[in-house]
Structure formats: C-alpha cells, structure tokens
Amino acid sequence: MGTIDKVVRIIVAIIIVLLYVSNKIEGTMAIVLLVLSGIFILTSFISFCPLYYPFGISTKKQE
C-alpha cells in the first residue's frame, strides 16, 4: 500500500469519526461507517489491504 493510499484512508477515517462525534451521522449508518473507518485505520497501519490482494492491485511506487 502506497503512502498516498494510507493518507487518504486515514483522512477519510478521521472525517467519519468527526461526523459521528458531531452527530451528523447516526444509527445503523454510523455503525457501518465507524467499522469502515476502523478498517481503514488498521489497513493503513499494517500497510496491507486484503481486498487488493485477490485483484493484484498495488498502490506502492514501483522502484
């Protein structure tokens, strides 16, 4: 997973949490989005996205 991919995932996760904290999202949608933001944070820190693997996608810069 490339740096830009990691940064975008972290920013999206932070936005989702901020929307939840400010009560802009609630209910089932809030729970689903919070789980998604947790997955974004986790995959950013471990630098691996399980959905990219079966499709052979890599956002890492080629050397």
Comparing CA positions, the residue from 44, 51, 53 lying closest to residue 8 is: 44
Predicted pLDDT of residue 63: 66
- Digit-by-digit pLDDT tens for the chain (63 residues) are 788 889 999 999 999 999 999 999 999 999 999 999 999 999 999 888 877 777 777 777 766
Please report, for residues 7, 24, 27, the alpha-carbon distance to residue 30 in angstroms, rounded to integers and kept in the order given.
Answer: 22, 9, 5
| 23 conformational bin, left if phi > 0, alpha if psi -120 to 50, beta if neither | left
CA–CA distances in Å: residue 14 to residues 9, 18, 33, 35, 49: 9, 6, 11, 12, 18
Q: Where are the domains of the chain?
A: 3-55
This prediction's pTM: 0.81
User: Residue 29: its pLDDT value, please?
Assistant: 94
